[in-house]
């Protein structure tokens, strides 16, 4: 019971933080609840499929199938997060202004929710597939009663949902006109952390094996497998002893997103205030 509670809780928290950020970043978008729910549902389905075919996936690419798969979905999430931020750089300012004026009831129908729905799906899929494998393993041994297993799992999911709510309402405490700047910053760091994780998976799979030595070690300060360490790992990609390639990819992702958003913002010059007719 305790084991299943803990492992489910840990994985759900990690997915939950990302869902919380996505919800805050899409505040005011019509139909976002549907998109986010769709993302979660697709993620759960995907997690079950990935778990069911774990053996097949692992056997691909000369035994590096799992690593290639993990890296691919992470990089897809990085691309979607980048797309979201770039899109917001072009359109976000007008939206923030509207929200400030009219409150939360503003929606921008053409806003792409697909990108962030994919991110939600991937987050749920990655964390969920581990939960499924784990629970399936326990269930097949028959050492734990089904009730205890389900109870632990349900409690874990509930705990994770609470973390999602905390993240979401915490972000909503940010003043409306600053909200999208804050979520854009969070999404940039989220993407950088995912990209750094992706390169690590590729290296585990035997690819891109350069700069593999540890650059620094801050495990004396904050261990990555502590609760705070795990939260920061999910949110900003905290790593207590990154290797050179990870640091490089992390920095490159931030630079790329900042550059792309600058370019996009320049293409959409700040709208002048309504001209006063003299």
Partner 1 sequence: MKLAAFVIAGVAAFLVLPAIADDPPIALTLKDHKFTPAVIHVRANAPSQILLNNEDSSSEEFDSSALHVEKVVPGGQKGIVRLRPLPPGRYNFMGEFHSDTAEGVVVAE
Residues that bind partner 1 (CB under 8 A): 3, 7, 54-55, 58-59, 62-64, 66-67, 130, 133-134, 136-138, 140-141, 200, 203-210, 212-214, 219, 223-225, 239-241, 243
Closer of 100 and 230 to partner 1 (Cβ): 230
Give the span between the Cα atoms of 31 and 24, in whole angstroms.
14
What letter does residue 210 receive in the DSSP assignment? S
Q: Which is nearer to partner 1, 85 or 246 (CB)?
A: 246
Minimum distance from residue 185 beta carbon to partner 1 (Å): 26
Shortest Å, Cβ 203 to partner 1: 7
Q: Please say whether the beta carbons of 205 and 64 come within 8 A.
A: yes
CA 136 → CA 51, 133, 152, 155, 181, distances in Å? 9, 5, 13, 17, 42
Question: Smallest distance, Å, CB 230 to partner 1?
Answer: 9
Question: Which three-class secondary structure string do you get for 40-92?
Answer: HHHHHHHHHHHHHCHHHHHHHHHHCHHHHHHHHHHHHHHHHHHHHHHHHHHHH
- Return the number of the residue (16 or 130) whose C-beta is nearest partner 1: 130
Considering beta carbons, is residue 85 or 243 the nearer one to partner 1? 243
Structure token pair of residue 90: 């072009």
Q: Tell the smallest beta-carbon distance from residue 189 to partner 1 (Å).
A: 19
Cα distance between residue 77 and residue 74, in whole Å: 5
Q: Which is nearer to partner 1, 88 or 130 (CB)?
A: 130
Q: What is the DSSP letter of 103?
A: G
Distance, C-alpha 125 to centroid of its chain: 11
Beta-strand ranges (E) seen in the chain are none
CB atoms within 10 A of CB 119: 30
Using the minimum distance from each CB to partner 1, give the nearer residue, 117 or 122. Answer: 122
Nearer to partner 1, 64 or 82 (CB): 64
State whether the Cα torsion 190-98-40-151 is positive or negative. positive
User: At closest approach, how far in Å is the CB of 212 from partner 1?
Assistant: 4
- Looking at beta carbons only, is 40 or 131 nearer to partner 1? 131
Q: Tokens representing 53? A: 């075919």
Instruction: Output the smallest distance, CB 161 to partner 1, in A.
Output: 22
Classify 207 in phi/psi space as left (phi over 0), alpha (psi -120 to 50) or beta. beta
- Minimal distance, residue 19 CB to partner 1, in Å: 21
Query: Shortest approach of partner 1 to residue 122 CB, angstroms?
Result: 16
């Amino acid at each position: 019971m305790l084991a299943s509670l803990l492992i489910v809780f840990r994985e759900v928290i990690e997915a939950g933080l990302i869902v919380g950020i996505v919800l805050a970043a899409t505040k005011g978008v019509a139909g976002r609840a549907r998109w986010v729910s769709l993302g979660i549902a697709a993620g759960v389905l995907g997690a079950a499929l990935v778990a069911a075919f774990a053996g097949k996936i692992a056997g691909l690419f000369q035994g590096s199938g799992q690593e290639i798969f993990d890296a691919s979905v992470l990089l897809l999430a990085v691309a979607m997060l980048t797309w979201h931020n770039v899109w917001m750089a072009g359109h976000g300012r007008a939206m923030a202004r509207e929200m400030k004026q009219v409150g939360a009831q503003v929606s921008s129908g053409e806003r792409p929710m697909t990108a962030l729905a994919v991110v939600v799906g991937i987050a749920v899929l990655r964390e969920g597939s581990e939960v499924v494998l784990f629970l399936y393993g326990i269930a097949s041994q028959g050492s734990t009663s089904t009730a205890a297993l389900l109870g632990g799992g349900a409690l874990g999911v509930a705990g994770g949902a609470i973390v999602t709510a905390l993240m979401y309402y915490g972000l909503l405490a940010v003043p409306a006109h600053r909200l999208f700047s804050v979520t854009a910053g969070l999404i940039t760091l989220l993407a950088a952390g995912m990209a750094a994780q992706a390169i690590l998976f590729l290296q585990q799979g035997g690819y891109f094996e350069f700069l593999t030595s540890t650059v620094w070690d801050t495990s004396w300060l904050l261990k990555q497998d502590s609760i705070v360490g795990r939260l920061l790992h999910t949110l900003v990609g905290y790593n207590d002893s990154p290797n050179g390639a990870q640091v490089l990819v992390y920095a490159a992702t931030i630079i790329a997103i900042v550059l792309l958003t600058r370019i996009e913002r320049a293409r959409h010059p700040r709208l002048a205030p309504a001209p006063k007719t003299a």
